[in-house]
Amino acid sequence: MIHDILAAGSGTLVGFVLGLIGGGGSILAVPLLIYGVGVQSTHVAIGTSAVAVALSALSSLVVHARAGNVHWPCALVFAACGVVGAGLGSTIGKSFDGQRLLFLFGLLMIAIALLMLRKPKGEIKKFVPLTRESVAAVAPRLAVFGGGAGLFAGFFGIGGGFLVVPGLTAGARMPLLAAIGSSLVSVFAFGLTTATNYALSGLIDWRLVAMFVLGGIAGSLFGGQIAARLARQKRTLSIVFAVIVAGVGIYIVVRGLFG
């Protein structure tokens, strides 16, 4: 019962952050499951969070698709190549020592926090859609960026949106809003691939998944309502969240170094 409550509370927190500032909140899922809920295995925490990440991305994808923010040709090519990388990355991750994997995850959190502190670039106007005429130039770039992002996401069991969005903007010069919407196709696909790989090894706690997702739904709804009221402070909120992510990452790294 205590674990269920803690899992639901952790999911609520992650969902709240996702609803409040958008992508990035799922990076807290693994440390919350380990240090908050008390999951003993790093691999089980990664497998469990991968399911939550996939479901969260799917719900957001529906919203963006209805709004016309998903460019499907580019998104599907990127995701298809990324799924191969995610399968390979998650296989390597499963065979990696749990403590070393957690240590690297801490370093990843610090890196993501630093990226979040950077000011976002303006819109990229010269979008190159994936067509028969542009496929020779655009598809290889999408394949390379997609495969790399998938490998990274699969290894750490994260959505990898912070890699997918820049990959889409670099690969197809996609405008930011379209890149965000299109990235959710990959985030869902990567999470599903990683979760399936971990599930085949019995490394997912399905009860925790259910509680985490239920909490996440409630948290995202509440966070979305607050976000509408604090729209002008979104950049400030992102900076505060980045500092929190960096702090957690530093804690994980220090703990890994000194026990």
pLDDT in tens, 5-37: 999 999 888 878 776 665 666 788 899 999 999
More confident residue, 184 or 80: 80
**SS3 state at 204:** coil
Spell out the residues 6+ positions from residue 18 whose beta carbon is closer than 8 angstroms to its own: 24, 25, 26, 56, 60, 216, 219, 220, 223
Query: Would you state the pLDDT for residue 221?
Result: 77
- Name the nearest CA neighbour of 203 among 42, 31, 35: 42
Q: Which residues contact 158 (CB under 8 A, 6 or more apart)?
A: 26, 27, 30, 49, 53, 108
| Residue bearing tokens 């990683």 | 194
Segment 175-183 shows an average pLDDT of 84
List the single range of 75-84, 125-134, 235-244 with lowest mean pLDDT.
Answer: 125-134
Task: Report how far residue 160's alpha carbon sits from residue 147's, in angstroms, rounded to the nearest whole number.
Answer: 12
pLDDT score, position 177: 78
Distance (Å, whole) CA 50 – CA 192:
7
Report which residue type is found at 231.
Answer: A
Mean confidence (pLDDT) of the chain: 87
Closest CA to 53 of 186, 176, 174, 169: 186
Pick from 55-59, 88-92, 110-114, 197-201: least confident? 55-59
DSSP, collapsed to helix, strand or coil, labels residue 174 as: coil
- How many whole angstroms separate alpha carbon 69 and alpha carbon 177? 7
Q: Which residue has the tokens 């997912």?
A: 204
- Return the higher-pLDDT residue of 133 and 26: 133
Q: Kindly state the average pLDDT of the residues 146-165.
A: 89
Instruction: Name the DSSP class of 131.
Output: -
- Whether 118 has a pLDDT exceeding 90, the answer reads no
Percentage of residues of the chain with pLDDT beyond 90: 49
Taking only the tens place, the pLDDT of each residue in 72-89 is 999 999 999 999 999 999
CB 171 within 8 A of CB 124: no
Count: domains in the chain:
1
Domain, as residue range, for 215: 2-258
